[in-house]
Amino acid sequence: MTDLTSWMGAAAAVLTTGSFAFQARLTFRTRDVSGISLGMYSAFTTGVALWLLYGWLLGAWPIVAANAVTLALALSILLMKLRYSAAPPPPPASAGRQK
26 in a structural domain:
no
96 in a structural domain:
no
Q: How far apart are CA 45 and CA 6, in angstroms?
A: 25
> Nearest-CA neighbor of 20 among 64, 78, 84?
78
Contact present, 9 and 62 (Cβ < 8 Å): yes
> Can you give the CATH number for the domain in which 55 is found?
1.20.1280.290
92 in a structural domain:
no
Integer-rounded Cα Rg, in Å, for the chain is 17
**pLDDT tens per residue across span 80-91:** 899 888 766 566
**pLDDT tens per residue across span 41-57:** 999 999 999 999 999 99
Number of domains in the chain: 1
Range of the domain at 42: 36-86
Q: How far apart are CA 90 and CA 99, in angstroms?
A: 20
Average pLDDT on 7-14 reads: 86
